[in-house]
Amino acid sequence: MQKLEQLYEGKAKRVYATDDPALLIVDYKDDATAFNGAKKGSIAGKGIINNQMSNRLMHRLEQAGIPTHFVQELSERETLVKRVEIVPLEVIVRNLAAGSFSKRYGIEEGTPFEAPTIEFSYKNDALGDPLINDSQLLAIRLAKEDELETINRYSFRVNELLRAFWAECGVTLVDFKLEFGRLADGTVILADEISPDTCRLWDSATGKKLDKDRFRRDLGGVEDAYAEIMRRLCEHDR
Ligand code: TMP
């Protein structure tokens, strides 16, 4: 597999073409941003952890029947993935109140829910990724009705699978963000990454935050938290 020209550079990853038009290479950076890029920094070793964690989790999801873009890990920071057209939605699933949900609805962080929730943001940096509801995203054709049905079904199933897995590692999956993409034939699959950048992961015993909130909120110990969450995953995922 030959790595060809860079197609795109995002906040945390670069994407390259390959000699197979159906495959891309993603290369994970240590760069970290928050608040739509307003806060910038770097988390040493993050790219390696996010690459390896995302691949392991996607492999598990694939085995459990969720189609994903993951093909093959190529190096510490590089992975071969299926080329998709990204559905411009950030899909957020929550098990406990935290972050923007707590702020918006005045509910203390850590408050458990009656049932998991799902919400969507329109993936658009210029607009600051505004929240959007089902009827609105259908109205402006961000997804088709059958695609939205698939995204909802996969997202709640991913939550069940990941929540159970992290629980075995002594970690509470508070919430997370997913992105989906369309293959050339229109099939919707899970894309992007699943990592401490895109999930809230709390130590089940102590409540310690083992995710990017340590960077967003200047809590310190960011690198240690990423290393700790990766160690928890590795111990359990043999
Ligand atoms: P929020 O509470 O700030 O809306 O975040 C919900 C989840 O989504 C949390 O696990 C962090 C993740 N997330 C991203 O992956 N990318 C983003 O740009 C934002 C704002 C949140």
101 and 21 share a domain? no
- Segment 57-73 mean pLDDT: 98
Model confidence pLDDT, tens digit, residues 148-169: 999 999 999 999 999 999 999 9
127 and 224 share a domain? yes
pLDDT of residue 1: 85
- Burial-class residue 2 by CB neighbours within 10 Å (0-12, 13-18, 19+): exposed
**Strand spans (E) along 48-124:** 70-73, 78-82, 85-86, 89-96, 112-122
Question: Separation of 185 CA from ligand 1 center, angstroms?
Answer: 30
* Average pLDDT for the chain: 98
Residue with CA closest to ligand 1 atom 17 = 198
- Segment 44-70 mean pLDDT: 98
115 and 69 share a domain? no
Contact (Cβ atoms closer than 8 angstroms) between residue 53 and residue 230: yes
138 and 44 share a domain? no
Structural domain for 39, as ranges: 3-82
Three-class secondary structure of residue 24 per DSSP: strand
Instruction: Report the number of distinct structural domains present in the chain.
Output: 2
CB atoms within 10 A of CB 108: 9
pLDDT of residue 13: 98
Question: Separation of 99 CA from ligand 1 center, angstroms?
Answer: 8
18 and 114 share a domain? no
Q: Is 198 in the pocket of ligand 1 (CB under 6 A)?
A: yes
Question: Separation of 176 CA from ligand 1 center, angstroms?
Answer: 7
Domain end marker among 16, 49, 82:
82
45 and 17 share a domain? yes
How much is the pTM?
0.98
Q: Is 175 in the pocket of ligand 1 (CB under 6 A)?
A: yes
pLDDT level of residue 42 (50, 70, 90 thresholds)? very high
